[in-house]
Amino acid sequence: MRTFLFLFLLSLFCSPSFAQSDSPPDEDDFGERKTRPIRLSEQIEVLSSLGDRNYKGEALVKKAEKTVQYFRSMDKKKVIPDLKEKIEKTPFKGLFEKFPLAYQFLAEVFTHKKALPQLFKLSLKKNLLIFYGFFFLFTIYLGFYLKNKKTEDESFFGSFLKRAAILFTLRVGLFFALFYEEVTPTLSLFLKVVL
Tell me the range of 21-25, 37-41, 106-110, 168-172 where mean pLDDT is highest. Answer: 168-172
- Residue ending a domain, choose from 114, 148, 165: 114
Categorize the per-residue pLDDT at 131 as very low, low, confident or very high, splitting at 50, 70 and 90.
Answer: very high
Tell me what pLDDT residue 77 has. Answer: 87
- Tell me the HSE value of 181 on the side-chain side, using a 13 A CA sphere: 6
Residues 15 and 51 in one domain: yes
HSE-up of residue 134 (Cα within 13 Å, Cβ side): 5
Mean local confidence (pLDDT), 35-39: 55
State which residues form the domain around 186: 125-195
Question: Are the beta carbons of 123 and 70 closer than 8 angstroms?
Answer: no
Q: Are residues 64 and 140 in the same domain?
A: no
Question: Of 79, 114, 149, at which residue does a domain stop?
Answer: 114
Each as own residue / partner, the long-range contacts of residues 132-141 (CB below 8 Å, 24 or more positions apart, any chain) are 132/1, 132/174, 132/175, 132/178, 132/179, 135/171, 135/174, 136/171, 139/167, 139/170, 139/171
pLDDT tens profile 82-129: 888 888 888 888 888 898 889 999 999 999 999 999 988 988 888 999
Query: pLDDT tens across 57-66, in order?
Result: 788 888 889 9
Assign 178 to helix, strand or coil: helix
Query: Is 152 a domain residue?
Result: yes
**134/48 Cα distance (integer angstroms):** 33
Total tally of structural domains belonging to the chain: 2
Average pLDDT, integer, range 141-164: 85
Q: Furthest-apart CA pair in the chain: how many Å? A: 71
**Looking at per-residue confidence, does 30 or 190 come out higher?**
190
pLDDT, position 177 = 94
In a domain, 119, yes or no: no
CA 161/CA 178 separation, integer angstroms? 26
At residue 183, the pLDDT reads 93
Q: How confident is the model at residue 38, as a pLDDT?
A: 56
Task: Indicate the average pLDDT of the chain.
Answer: 77
- Helix or strand or coil: residue 25? coil
Q: Looking at the structure, do residues 65 and 84 belong to the same domain, yes or no?
A: yes
Residue in 59, 32, 36 with CA at minimum distance from that of residue 48: 59
Is pLDDT above 60 for 157?
Answer: yes
Q: What's the rounded Cα separation, in Å, for the pair 121 and 117?
A: 6
Q: Distance of CA 1 to CAs 43, 55, 179, Å? A: 30, 18, 11
